Structure 1
Amino acid sequence: MSDIPACPQCAGENTYPDGDDFVCADCAFEWPAAADVQAGGAGPQARDCNGNVLADGDNVVVIKDLKVKGSSIPLKQGTVIRGIRLVEDDAEHIEGNSDRIKGLVLKTCFLRKA
């Protein structure tokens, strides 16, 4: 049982393999076994809508028109966001700037890697 990792959510040691996944018996959290080997237990990774891993400095493209709070200018489909920054402890959001709007915080589900 020493090769079975602790739960990444509750840090409990009561985990077991279930097919291609690991399951925590304490909190019922499930995570893929392959992700633990690739990431080395580094925590959640920011991924775009296609599942590609995002990193600081990447360029991304908006996949649908988005309304921007505090601005009358919408963010159109196909807009390129250059030099993104990952939000610490939040794999679902990135920070970046477009050509016309500065200081954006965007959900990764509306982006694809350029």
Structure 2
Amino acid sequence: MNNAIPACPQCKSEYAYEDRDLFICPECGHEWNPKQNVEEANTLIVRDANGNILQDGDYVVLIKDLKVKGSSSVAKIGTKVKILHLTEGDHNIDCKIEGIGPMMLKSEFVKKA
């Protein structure tokens, strides 16, 4: 292996190879630009229903009534919610809704306030 090519930052595979300006990992399929800051490349980007980028601490508004799993409660359309933390996965907004409690929401059901 060529020592100039680093291990994959995602799966740590040593079989990465160079293709033009990118490094590519054949094991996990991750592609990265060696000139780009690794921390910058791994930044989580979450967008609302309108395509606006969301950040921790932003306020969002529900655009659809959402049933609360395991309860008969419903989070109503128009409810304003503060984002506590953004996470990876299907439900990528960790928040607390007044009167309901902590919840995980999908970003496709909110818009930035």
- The amino acid that maps onto 2:67 is K
The Cα of 1:46 is off from its aligned counterpart by 4.6
How many residues are aligned here? 104
Q: Distance in 1 between matches of 2:88 and 2:111?
A: 14
Q: As a proportion of its length, which structure holds more strand?
A: 2
The Cα of 1:61 is off from its aligned counterpart by 1.6
Structure 2 residue aligned with 1:75: 75
The Cα of 1:52 is off from its aligned counterpart by 0.4
1:11 aligns with 2:12: yes
- SS of residue in 1 equivalent to 2:66: coil
- SS of residue in 2 equivalent to 1:69: coil
Distance 1:73 1:58, change over 3 A: same
Q: Distance in 2 between matches of 1:22 and 1:112?
A: 36
Superposed, 1:26-105 pairs within 5 Å as 26-30=27-31, 40-41=40-41, 43-49=42-48, 50-55=51-56, 57-82=57-82, 84-86=83-85, 90-92=87-89, 93-105=92-104
Q: Identity over the aligned pairs, expressed in percent?
A: 37
Distance 1:22 1:78, change over 3 A: farther
TM-score by length of 1: 0.62
Q: Are the equivalent residues in 1 in contact too, given 2:52–2:112 (CA < 8 A)?
A: no
RMSD of the alignment, in Å?
A: 3.2
Q: Distance in 1 between matches of 2:8 and 2:68?
A: 37
Q: Distance in 1 between matches of 2:24 and 2:10?
A: 11
- The amino acid that maps onto 2:66 is L
The Cα of 1:101 is off from its aligned counterpart by 1.3
Q: Which runs of 4+ in 1 moved over 4 A?
A: 36-39
Give 5+ residue unaligned stretches, structure 1. Answer: none
TM-score by length of 2: 0.63
Q: Are the equivalent residues in 2 in contact too, given 1:46–1:86 (CA < 8 A)?
A: no
